[in-house]
Amino acid sequence: MWRYIMRRIFLQGIPVLLGFSFLLYLVITIAPGSPVTHLRGVPNLDSSVIEQRKAQLGLDQPFIVQYLNWLGRVLRFDLGLSFDSARRPVADLIKERMPATITLSLASIVLGWGIGIPIGILSARYQYSVFDYAITFFAFVGISIPSFFFGLILLYVFALKLNVLPAGGFFMAGEARTLAGYVSYLLLPSLTLGLASIAGVARYMRASLLEVINQDYLRTARAKGLPERLVVYKHALRNALLPILTLLGFMIPGIFSGAVIVESIFAWPGLGSLAIQAVNERNYPVIMGIDMMFAVLIFLGSIVADISYALADPRIRYE
């Protein structure tokens, strides 16, 4: 197993990440607009300042030189300095915001799986009942609403009309950071982000469990007189749950993308707003830093997915 993981990382991961970083750097450098655009409007700007700034940011060099410089720094674990006027280390900028995005993503996963799995199980257990149809319908609805739209509605209903939850943002300065507070700030954004997950997981769980539940070996268990409850929860579930892990691996990219929009609606202080701002300002090091981080996380997610796939199906073995 470890040999497999190592091989995956070195033979697959590294070239992929390299290729990705190269393509990405190329794409953002080609884009019209430059990091010095924000100098427009500075009173009495001396033209030498623009040239000096460009040299400082390395923009006067050809693309390949810029890329190799960036790559060299990254290999030394240095993500470089932001191109904006504050010139702060990219690593700091990401570190400041990452916990918020991770919290949001985790919360939405917890919600998605925490609600989705039980719903899916019950739906499979009581297949074709009213409950099943209702859940199935709700699941479909959940994956059919654009997340930002759902978020806006939640904001409107709970924050504006009912005034029971905060309208986005995070703790105000001086506000006590209680657990209840965390939950109240996190609830709406993670619900919005998790909505599609809940629906997807519920459906997948239901399908997976159904596939297992009607298998022959369970028929034997039932014939032996085991109560249905035991059949389902003890035997079937164990086999049905593993494939869900693969789902986790697949859903991670979607969660990161979705987080960007959700953070924008709820002013959640995560990486999303930094990423959008960085693209608008052509802040190359920040864009590269965030994207590379996501790419690494997505890659790790796919390894997790593959491993759990192997664990679930003994016929597949990686050597």
- Report the residue number, 131 or 148, with the smaller CB distance to other proteins: 148
Could you tell me how many residues of this chain bind other proteins (CB under 8 A)? 94
| Residue with tokens 């693309």, as numbered in its chain | 63
For the record, the structure tokens of 128 come out as 């074709």
Give yes or no for residue 23 binding other proteins (CB under 8 A): yes
Cβ 165 to other proteins shortest distance, Å: 10
Give yes or no for residue 168 binding other proteins (CB under 8 A): yes
Give yes or no for residue 210 binding other proteins (CB under 8 A): no
Q: How far is CA 302 from CA 140, 158, 170, 269, 273, in A?
A: 25, 36, 31, 27, 26
Among 6, 68, 167, 230, binds other proteins (CB under 8 A): 167
Cβ 234 to other proteins shortest distance, Å: 25
Give yes or no for residue 99 binding other proteins (CB under 8 A): no
Give yes or no for residue 40 binding other proteins (CB under 8 A): yes
Note whether 111 and 198 are within 8 A (CB): yes
Note whether 306 and 249 are within 8 A (CB): yes
| Residue with tokens 């920040």, as numbered in its chain | 286
Cβ 280 to other proteins shortest distance, Å: 6
Q: Which stretch binds other proteins (CB under 8 A): 34-42, 59-67, 102-110, 176-184?
A: 34-42
- Report the residue number, 17 or 187, with the smaller CB distance to other proteins: 17
- Report the residue number, 94 or 115, with the smaller CB distance to other proteins: 94
For the record, the structure tokens of 78 come out as 């240095």
**CA angle in degrees (0–180, nearest 5) for 88-89-95:** 110
The rounded distance, in Å, linking the Cα atoms of 288 and 279 is: 10
- Report the residue number, 120 or 270, with the smaller CB distance to other proteins: 270
What is the amino acid identity at position 145?
I
Site for other proteins in 237-266 (CB under 8 A): 253, 256-257, 260-261, 264-266
The rounded distance, in Å, linking the Cα atoms of 36 and 87 is: 13
Interaction pattern, residues 54-73, with other proteins; x per rule: CB under 8 A: --x-----------------
Note whether 60 and 303 are within 8 A (CB): no
Can you tell me whether residue 41 is helix, strand or coil?
coil
Site for other proteins in 273-292 (CB under 8 A): 273-276, 279-282, 287, 290-291
Give yes or no for residue 74 binding other proteins (CB under 8 A): no
Q: What are phi and psi of 287, to 5 degrees?
A: -60, -50
